[in-house]
Every structure is written in C-alpha cells, then in structure tokens.
A and B are shown apart, each in its own frame.
Chain A
C-alpha cells in the first residue's frame, strides 16, 4: 500500500514539474553599455520587404535622398514612368517588334559588389556566372568624370545586356540596357552617348 502511494506521489510531482510554466514574471538585470545599433545579422527568413534590398527601415525612408543625376536621352528612346527604384526608364522598339529596355537605378552602398551584380545580369540573360579572375578583363568607361565598369553580355536565346556599373560617393548606380540582342548592338552607340551626358548634381 505504502509503495503505491509513494510511487503515486513521485509521478504526481513529475507531472506537475512537466506541465508547470516558467517565465511568468517581469525580470530586470544590469548589463554593460551596449552599442546604439542592434546587431544586424542576416537571418534565413524570406521576407516581403527583402525585395527593397534589405536596409534599415529608416534608411529606406531616406531612399528619397538618392538623387538621380541629369541626363540627355537620345532621340528614339521612349520615356517610361520612373518609380522609387528606377530613377530612369526608357524603351526602344523597332519596326520588327524587337525591343530593349534601359534603366537607371541607384542604391546606397555597394549592394553585394560588382561581381555579384554582373553575375546577376548574366543570369538574367540565361548565362552562367563568371569568377573574379575573368572580371579583370573588363572594359571601363567614364561617367561624369568617374570610372565605371562597362559590361557587354551576349546571353542565350537572343537576349543581351549592355550596361555600366558606377560606384560613386558610397552609392552604386546601374545603367542597364537589356533586350533583343540585335537591337542592343544597334543601340550601343546611343547608350554610350547617354552615359556621356549623365551629370550628377550633388
């Protein structure tokens, strides 16, 4: 009999322990002074907002401080509406229905670096990535007195990209012409002229 009650008590205690909850009170403690910024560490969650290139929310509010430069669009470039991301947006269509799109996008910071962005562009036209070694053979051009990398990618399935990546004063500017390969080739001269006309105001 005694044994029964003892064993019953033991199990009851364990049951109680197992189901009782901890952490129902407010606690306080002291820690050495911490830095202003909370550690920003990349976690693996996919989030809706990640599409706007994941920076702090207040910095996003400062996107408006990314001021677009002035430029002169060549004749034949139809102006498309710009948005918060695309500061400049143009389209060229020829009689055979082929088209290319030109965009001007600016970001704070280096957005992953040149190699990552070139590989991103390569992927967009169905090509595999290159590594840093191959990058050394890239041509350059001048945009508003600063050196920009000139990218000429002939992709698969008749799609090409011709563009320039400019790093300037802590900002990255992407000038990209993408679309039908033949038309891209035709518009290369216009594109270079467009680049020459770019002038930053700040």
Chain B
C-alpha cells in the first residue's frame, strides 16, 4: 500500500520550486485543455516510449515534467538528454551510427542529420501499406523531432539560448516597433525613400512569429475575448497588429522562463501564481489538478502489477495447497480491481464520455469487465479459477493498453463528429466490448482446461471449467449479438445503412457465428467436453481477429491504420492458440469424456 501511496504524493521533487504549480498549467491541444503534466508524459511517450528520462551520468532518472521544464526553459541542457528512441539499424546508419545496442539518442546527436532525415521523409509514400519498415521508423523519428521542435517554442518565441534571456526585451521592442514599421511601409508603398533597417528587423521578427504561429500546435495563451481557441506566443504577438493589445500571459511566461534560467526560485513561484490568476476561469483548475493526480498515480500500471501478484499467489496456491494462498490472491485481486476501477472512472470524469472511446480505452474496459466477471466466478466456484482467469485477463489487457498508448497520443482526446453520440457510445460500444471480454474469459478458462488435461487434473475440476465456459459462451453470444444489432441501428440512424459489410462489422458477425457454431455443435452432440473447450480456445483467435485484425486491414469506416508491431504479436498469439488446440486435440491417451 505504501508503494501505491508514494505515487499519490503530488511532488516527489525535493526542491522548493513550485513544480506542482507548473504541472497544472493548462495547454490546449487538439481541442482539449490538458495540464502540462499530461503534455510532458504524452510527448515523452511519443519520443522515448516511456515517461522518464534516464540521464547517463549516475543513472539518474528525470520525470517527464522535469524534462519538459528543461526543454522549454533551458533547451541547451535538454538537448543533451538521450530521449530519441531509435531501434531500426537502417535509420541509425543514416546518421552514421552503428547499431551497437544503444537505443536512446540526444537531440545534439541528431541535429546534424536533420536535413538527411527530411530528404528521406519526402520519399515516404502516402499510402501506409506501401511503406517499408525503414520508412515507418523514419517517419516515427521525424514525428518525434517535430514534436520536440514545437515544444521548444511552447512558452516563448526564442530560438537561441541568448534570445531566451532577453525575451521581455524582445517583446517590448516588437510592440514598440509596430507603429513605426507601419508608417515606414506606408511611405514605401507610396514611393518615398525609407530606411530599410526599420522594417527589416520588424519583418524578421514577424516572420519568426508567423512561423511559430502556424507550426506550434500546443497553445498556452488563452484567448482574450470570449473565444474558444487558444494560441501560442507567436500568434499572440502577431495579433497585436490587429487588436493593439498583447495578452499579458505572454509576458508572464517570458518572466517565468527567465527566472527559471537564473535560478530565481521566488520569482518563478510568484510567476506561476500570476499566470494562474491571469488565466482565471478560462481553465477548469479542479479538473487540471485531478488530471495531474491521475497522471502521477499511473493507476493502470499499478493495477497491472497487482494483477500479476494475484496470479502468482493463485499459481502457488495450486502447487502448494497447504499454504492457503487463495484467499490472499482473491483480496489482492480486489485491490487491483479497485485501482483499475478508479482509473476507469477518472477517465470518464476527465473526458466526460462513456468509458470506451478508442482502442486504448477498449483494452482497459475489456480487462475491467473480465476481472469483474472473474470475481463473480470465484464466488460461485471457489477453486481459485475465477481469480486466476481475472488476473490473467486483467494483466494481459492492460499490457495491450500500455502498448497502444506508446503512440503518445492523447488518450483522453476529443471525439470526431461521426462518433459523437454518447448514447450509442454507451450502448453499442460497451455491449460489444463486454462480448469480447466474455470470449477471452472463456478462452482463458479453456486454456487452463487444456493444461489440466496435460497435467492430469481431476474430473470435477474439468467439469467445473466446462460449465463455466458454457456460461461465458452464452454470455458472449448474447452480448455480441445484441451489441452488433445496436451497431446496425446506429449505422441506420446515421447514414441509412443497417449493415454495411465493414470489416469490423464482419468481425463482430464472425464472433456471433462462432458462438452459434459452438453451441449448436454441443447441442447437436457433434462435440463433447474436450471438443467444446478446444472450440473455446479458438474463440480467442476469432475475438482477437475481430478486435485487432480488422483494424489492420486499413479498409472501411473502422480502420485505424496498420500497426506494424501489433501485426506480428497478433500472429504469434494466433499461432500459440492453434498449437494449444492441435496439441490438446491429439492427446491420444485421453478418451472422449
């Protein structure tokens, strides 16, 4: 419990710097306002594949927010941190580096090769299916560099360390020079002789601000009037030409930056308060604080570990029954479930949406439902089977979720227009996801059954498993069918077509068909206990095809793009299931029971 508690502490930093205040500062990204903490973690996830920076000297670890602070306010320092993850040997060779096991590189090491990277990037074909592995990896590196360069100008318009120390002066000069530049322009257009120097400087700054305005998509400056769109410093400074006013937050951030560089803690802390006041009610501070808390707790990581622990306890309880560990395993599972539920609930609160809105969220929900059903099964059967299955499913789905989250995308992001219906999101999507859960639960129980056959487990245990799987199959066909029908109704209401033969729709149909085949084969006495369980294992294959395989085809309304690494993992999983089926099927010395 202490370990969980440690993660709840808001500031694990031993300085007097108001880092907590900084973590809560709002940024508008892709239509959503999120705290700096989330921005730091998501960005670092995209660049590094993890939420920490490991500094080479003394193996020190730097939290994501610490990295962001250095990147935005002391870039010359941040450029030394090895954060860019590169696995592909070809990409490394592009930069003249041999693949000697090192995976993380600093910006300073990559700087000189940026033109080469840009050249190669131009050759990448638009269609994802036509890209080579090298091109995919290069594309990822390019995106990482792009995010990096955008974040450099998150809080200010400085492009060189020297400019960062003089930000307020630069802004003041700009403001002062607008009028004279306008005058000079007017004179020049009407043919009078004019001192070019006057507006060369003006145009240079204007160009710089224009570039930042158009290329930095993270916005920290709130709108002045009653609008929704936030801007960056470049945009705000250019806007002065039209409105005549400069949003004071721009200057506040400049002062924040300089105080950080000078190590002036008091001013830094004071400026945080000033910025918070200046932004005022344009941001929902309670939600921002909560999101920071949620980020730092990392509830899904915590529950992953707890589920693993629970499974280990159950496994030991089967091997050494005298230690009576099943109850402990059950209660550890419940703790994990509580943390998992808290994470799920927090997501719903922060996004204001039903729990499943994208693939990542579906993984989290499948695990949650699975654990819930597993807990119920444990109460009914009490062999430790329910606990085991719940722990396995919870652990596996959260690992899958973590891998889906490696893209660094904002997993709490807004929902596109075509999906924007809370009613259908909470009915069709939830019901179908529950169907997936049921299938996986049945599949895992069936795998345990197969292992039971191999290890000569007793008949009553096998019968228990059999009736459990029969139960989950009935559950799955019900939910999958109802969920699919709800999807059809949604489609009919939205674009007039009840059934469009979309790959994802087809995948759901295949799940329903497979469940129907299983049940009819059992009722028609075409299969008995072992046959039925083997079919349930195949249910894992069918469900993972429907959940992931259909997304990888890149066709139709549900396509989310080809997830390269995911393809091989999926293939490996399917092969593993087939091996279990074939292997157990041919276990000759067992009669058909």
Q: Which residues of A contact B (CB under 8 A)?
A: 127-131, 133-134, 136-137, 139-140, 157
In the complex, identify which listed stretch (B206-214, B278-286, B342-350) lies at the interface while the others stay far away: B206-214
A-B contact pairs, 27 of them (CB 8 A): A127-B211, A128-B211, A128-B214, A128-B215, A129-B214, A130-B210, A130-B214, A131-B210, A131-B213, A131-B214, A133-B238, A133-B239, A133-B241, A133-B242, A134-B206, A134-B210, A134-B238, A136-B241, A137-B185, A137-B203, A137-B206, A137-B241, A139-B185, A139-B188, A139-B189, A140-B189, A157-B115
Which chain A residues lie closer than 8 Å to B206 at the CB level?
134, 137
Complex: A128 Cα to B150 Cα, angstroms: 13
A141 vs chain B, min Cβ distance (A): 9
Ranked nearest first, the 8 interchain pairs of A and B with the lowest CB-CB distance are A128-B214, A134-B210, A130-B210, A128-B215, A128-B211, A129-B214, A140-B189, A139-B189
Q: Is the interface of B mostly helix, strand, loop or mixed?
A: helix
Which chain B residues lie closer than 8 Å to A128 at the CB level?
211, 214-215
Q: How many of chain B's residues touch chain A, expressed as a range?
A: 10 to 19
Which chain B residues lie closer than 8 Å to A136 at the CB level?
241
B180-212 vs A, Cβ < 8 Å mask (1 yes, 0 no) = 000001001100000000000001001000110
- Which residues of B (203-255) have their CB < 8 Å from a CB of A? 203, 206, 210-211, 213-215, 238-239, 241-242
Which chain A residues lie closer than 8 Å to B185 at the CB level?
137, 139
Complex: A197 Cα to B308 Cα, angstroms: 81
Which chain A residues lie closer than 8 Å to B189 at the CB level?
139-140
Nearest chain A residue, comparing its CB with the CB of B212: A128
B365-385 vs A, Cβ < 8 Å mask (1 yes, 0 no) = 000000000000000000000
Nearest chain B residue, comparing its CB with the CB of A127: B211
Complex: A136 Cα to B178 Cα, angstroms: 13
Nearest chain A residue, comparing its CB with the CB of B239: A133
Nearest chain A residue, comparing its CB with the CB of B211: A128
Nearest chain A residue, comparing its CB with the CB of B213: A131
Nearest chain A residue, comparing its CB with the CB of B202: A137
Which chain A residues lie closer than 8 Å to B241 at the CB level?
133, 136-137
Which of A127, A133, A136, A140 has the largest count of B CB atoms less than 10 A from its CB?
A133
Which chain A residues lie closer than 8 Å to B203 at the CB level?
137
A112 vs chain B, min Cβ distance (A): 18
B104-121 vs A, Cβ < 8 Å mask (1 yes, 0 no) = 000000000001000000
Complex: A171 Cα to B589 Cα, angstroms: 88
Complex: A198 Cα to B185 Cα, angstroms: 25
Complex: A136 Cα to B238 Cα, angstroms: 12
Which chain A residues lie closer than 8 Å to B239 at the CB level?
133
Complex: A140 Cα to B210 Cα, angstroms: 20
A17 vs chain B, min Cβ distance (A): 18
Contacts beyond the supplied A128-B215, A130-B210: 19 A-B pairs with Cβ under 8 Å: A127-B211, A128-B211, A128-B214, A129-B214, A131-B210, A131-B214, A133-B238, A133-B241, A133-B242, A134-B206, A134-B210, A134-B238, A136-B241, A137-B185, A137-B206, A137-B241, A139-B189, A140-B189, A157-B115
Complex: A72 Cα to B461 Cα, angstroms: 98
Complex: A138 Cα to B238 Cα, angstroms: 15
Complex: A12 Cα to B34 Cα, angstroms: 61
